[in-house]
Structure 1
Amino acid sequence: MLSIKNCGIMLEPQMGMTMLEVVSTARLVERLGFGYLFRSDHLLPTDNRRGVDSPECWTSLGALAASTTDLRFGPMVTPIGFRNPALLARMACTLHSFSGGRLQLAVGAGWYESEYRAHGYPFPPFKERMSQFDEAFSVISSLVREGRADFDGSYFSAHTDCLPRPDGKVNVIIGGRSKPLAAMAARRADEWNVFLSPPETYSLLKATFDSALDGRSVVVSETGPFMLGRDPGQLESFARMQASWLKSEASPQETLSRLKARDAPVGSPEEFLEKVGRKVDAGIERFYFQLLAPENTAMLELLAETLKGGV
């Protein structure tokens, strides 16, 4: 049975949140009983808007570590092209130790070319990014799991200890919707996170993932949007609020239709739970619900109530 402790909230601060909003939302998420809070690691808004706040990920994670006590938190996901992998591992171990073992380290190969170019980072083709990711993951996993890396590759090298040592195991997550990343997660990660996908796409990725497991136990999680309301009127109101926050001209009906077309959990609490239940039956064990209008605390509270079985 799905528990609220196996669920979390995903924030997109690059879309205009302030640091204070990130921290206050995390505190609310913790008070409501969720187990996890993730935030994106983007350097620019991902809808091509400019001139809005986009607080840097790892700086804000330090604030979250200091502002919460039980909530597990992390990036979803950190592109390895932004930071040297040995440095990233040390950052992760430092936060994990400081927070009492709560950091979740989710890494990926990156996808948003504009933010790479804007900040002077190279953005090679996917095949090369995968080769870089493979090497980076070797460095990161050695440092966070074993405390030392001795590695020389074509892109990265590291010969160092990782101190402070992590306070307990760091949960290492690989996020991605490609077959190579799904297979790599099965072989080397503690958790595979897939962004919301149509059922047929997820089934193909899950088959690749399952075939590569070789007896390992790896958690499967999903990140994606949702829309929840007690009745059609509230549902439309929440859809309108989300469109306004995202500066979208979509009508509530258009917003809801697009979400349903993507197989997102949408509707009343009962409809929401039915959709999530089907996803659980398909092998998804954890859910990180994307809150695209963080000011909508009423929907966040309804989500918590729904997951606790109070509706």
Structure 2
Amino acid sequence: MDFRVFVEPQQGATYGDQLAVAQTAEAAGYSAFFRSDHYLAMSGDGLPGPTDSWVTLGGIARETSTIRLGTMVTSATFRHPGVLAISVAQVDEMSGGRVELGIGAGWFESEHQAYAIPFPALGERFDRLGEQLDILTGLWTTPTGQTFDYNGANYRVVDSPGLPKPVQTPHPPIVIGGGGPKRTPALAAKYATEFNIPFVPLDTLKAQYARVAAAVADAGRAADSLTYSAAFVLCAGRDEAEVTRRAAAIGREVDELRSNSPLAGTAGEIVDRLGPFVEAGVQRVYLQTLDMSDLDHLEFFATEVIPQLG
């Protein structure tokens, strides 16, 4: 079982806050630090304000050495595909080849309105996501010295040198996720190294994993060529009092968290509750860490929970 740290900086975090979490996660042995790609808080005042995901990851790339870095997930509505290809390739070089790109169609209409970003209808957003994935992978894999062209319904590329190239070949791993029953599994089967489903109960996870596995088979891929992951809110503690304190720090109730996340509770409880998810095929878990000031939380999970899971 692989464990990664996942933060939501739009809720209110500086670059320094995120760096501290990334460095703590690296020291504690987590495999990756991922951050959301949002520009507006879902609750609270969001002070001091949003930070751009790829600017932030570029900075963290230079202040870490081993931990992998990525987005959960970059919104395809936020950036032109060529610009995103350059940004990701640059951060891949800055990190020595430690970048992963989680990418999705975008969903939070209010943040688009707040920052003058067009927000097409759902069908068009998925069309654009598919074309962006075509262009990203096309630019990255075009041999140096040759050019890349693309003529889609939403984007056109003419005589692009496809530069810069990322360090990782053929390109950084791509993470695609969500609960869509048709287009999401198809996109994952075509482009993804990893499929992620966040914050869902076990039955929903099983059903979506089955759809994705079927799409992978239909695409002619090996069944084990895709990593299956999930994300859950983290609220762990040495005893009930610590669990309760950490729940209160993120404005949640312990009972509600226990009903919605297998990562809520004491160490032994979490180990037991993760078991059915492991049996369902979860190979990687993202710990949604909502209180970024509580670095001991990550250290506790790394020393008290992870060793029990082998």
Match of 1:246 in 2: none
Q: Which amino acid in 2 is paired with 1:153?
A: G
- Within 5 Å, give how 1:12-91 maps onto structure 2: 12-47=8-43, 49=45, 51-91=47-87
Where does structure 1 differ by over 6 angstroms across 4 or more consecutive aligned residues? none
Q: Which amino acid in 2 is paired with 1:235?
A: V
Unaligned runs of 5+ in 1: 244-249
Match of 1:227 in 2: 235
Specify whether residues 48 and 177 from structure 1 end up closer, same or farther in structure 2 by C-alpha distance, changes over 3 A only: farther
Give me the whole-angstrom Cα distance separating, in 1, the residues matched to 2:203 and 2:308: 32
1:240 aligns with 2:248: yes
Q: Could you list the per-position Cα deviations for residues 11-35 of structure 1 after superposition, in whole angstroms to 9, with x for gaps in the alignment?
A: 1111111111111111111111111
Give me the whole-angstrom Cα distance separating, in 1, the residues matched to 2:83 and 2:16: 26
- Within 5 Å, give how 1:201-220 maps onto structure 2: 201-214=204-217, 215-216=221-222, 217-220=225-228
Deviating more after overlay: 29-38 vs 52-61: 52-61
Give me the whole-angstrom Cα distance separating, in 1, the residues matched to 2:44 and 2:105: 20
Q: Which amino acid in 1 is paired with 2:27?
A: R
Give me the whole-angstrom Cα distance separating, in 2, the residues matched to 1:257 and 1:310: 24
Match of 1:158 in 2: 157
Is the Cα–Cα contact under 8 Å of residues 15 and 52 in structure 1 kept in the other structure?
Answer: no
Deviating more after overlay: 121-130 vs 81-90: 121-130
Give me the whole-angstrom Cα distance separating, in 1, the residues matched to 2:200 and 2:306: 25
Match of 2:198 in 1: 195
1:268 to 266, 269, 279: 266
Is the Cα–Cα contact under 8 Å of residues 58 and 91 in structure 2 kept in the other structure?
Answer: yes
Q: Displacement of 1:310 after TM fit?
A: 6.8
Match of 1:178 in 2: 180
Q: Which amino acid in 1 is paired with 2:271?
A: L
Q: Displacement of 1:200 after TM fit?
A: 2.1
Give me the whole-angstrom Cα distance separating, in 2, the residues matched to 1:192 and 1:204: 13
Specify whether residues 263 and 300 from structure 1 end up closer, same or farther in structure 2 by C-alpha distance, changes over 3 A only: closer
Give me the whole-angstrom Cα distance separating, in 1, the residues matched to 2:129 and 2:44: 26
Match of 1:279 in 2: 277
Give me the whole-angstrom Cα distance separating, in 2, the residues matched to 1:74 and 1:229: 27
Give me the whole-angstrom Cα distance separating, in 1, the residues matched to 2:100 and 2:294: 25
Specify whether residues 235 and 51 from structure 1 end up closer, same or farther in structure 2 by C-alpha distance, changes over 3 A only: closer
Q: Which amino acid in 2 is paired with 1:208?
A: R
Q: Displacement of 1:55 after TM fit?
A: 1.4
CA RMSD in angstroms, aligned pairs only = 1.8
Give me the whole-angstrom Cα distance separating, in 1, the residues matched to 2:187 and 2:94: 29
Give me the whole-angstrom Cα distance separating, in 2, the residues matched to 1:239 and 1:13: 18
Is the Cα–Cα contact under 8 Å of residues 66 and 99 in structure 1 kept in the other structure?
Answer: yes
Match of 1:294 in 2: 292
Q: Displacement of 1:168 after TM fit?
A: 2.0
Specify whether residues 142 and 110 from structure 1 end up closer, same or farther in structure 2 by C-alpha distance, changes over 3 A only: same
Q: Which amino acid in 2 is paired with 1:162?
A: G
Deviating more after overlay: 54-63 vs 255-264: 255-264
Q: Which amino acid in 2 is paired with 1:182?
A: P
Alignment TM-score, normalising by the size of structure 1? 0.90
Q: Displacement of 1:162 after TM fit?
A: 2.6
Match of 1:125 in 2: 121
Q: Which amino acid in 1 is paired with 2:179?
A: R
Give me the whole-angstrom Cα distance separating, in 2, the residues matched to 1:198 and 1:110: 22
Q: Which amino acid in 1 is paired with 2:162?
A: C
Is the Cα–Cα contact under 8 Å of residues 109 and 129 in structure 1 kept in the other structure?
Answer: yes
Deviating more after overlay: 223-232 vs 46-55: 46-55
SS at match of 2:262: coil
Q: Which amino acid in 1 is paired with 2:193?
A: D
Deviating more after overlay: 36-45 vs 220-229: 220-229
Give me the whole-angstrom Cα distance separating, in 2, the residues matched to 1:306 and 1:165: 40
Q: Which amino acid in 2 is paired with 1:197?
A: V
Specify whether residues 263 and 182 from structure 1 end up closer, same or farther in structure 2 by C-alpha distance, changes over 3 A only: farther
Give me the whole-angstrom Cα distance separating, in 1, the residues matched to 2:236 and 2:163: 44
